[in-house]
Amino acid sequence: MSSPQEKVRGDPIAWLLEPDNPSVRYLTLRHLLECSKDDPDVETAKAAIARSQIAKRIE
């Protein structure tokens, strides 16, 4: 498995789109790739944020 540093040396977008952090995935889709809020990938990422471990810790 590659380290985050190794992944960033190549194309960081693939790393930012990994599903293990839906908040980063959502922001990457919306702001870096400029996908519409109605895009199915954006909607899926947004829905996954509420189910993520990070969000559960905030509750």
59 residues of the chain, pLDDT tens digit each: 566 666 557 788 999 999 999 999 999 999 999 999 999 999 999 999 989 887 777 76
State residue 25's pLDDT score. Answer: 97
Q: Where are the domains of the chain?
A: 12-58
- Residue ranges in 1-59 assigned as alpha helix (H): 4-9, 12-16, 22-27, 40-51, 53-58
Sign of CA dihedral 26, 13, 52, 55: negative
State residue 58's pLDDT score. Answer: 75
Mean pLDDT of the chain: 87
State residue 6's pLDDT score. Answer: 63
pTM of the model: 0.77
